[in-house]
Amino acid sequence: MYHSMIISDPDIMMGKPVIKGTRITIEMILEKIAAGESIEQILDEHPRLTNEAVRAACAFAAEVLRADVIYPMKEATR
């Protein structure tokens, strides 16, 4: 579904994955969702995005995280 919507080109945003035809990174979309922004808010702020593009960003992130990689996470100190 999302493979045709996301590209990574060293000449665009230093090679970070972006929505094709934009300079909007997958990272930025996910950060906005994590910060509590609704999809509607994201679409209002970035008119070139579509609902499908935001879903594609989430699907891309899920697939990337499926890889057999260990992400060490330290416990927060108080």
To the nearest 10°, report the CA torsion of 6, 10, 15, 21: -30
List the chain residues with pLDDT less than 70: 1, 76-78
Structural domains of the chain, with CATH = 6-65 (1.10.10.10)
Tell me which amino acid residue 73 is.
M
Give this prediction's pTM: 0.84
Centre a 10 Å sphere on the Cβ of residue 53 and count the other Cβ atoms it contains: 22
DSSP state of 12: S
For residue 48, which of 21, 73, 15, 78 has the smallest C-alpha distance?
Answer: 21
CA distance 37 to 31: 9
**Mean pLDDT for the chain overall:** 91
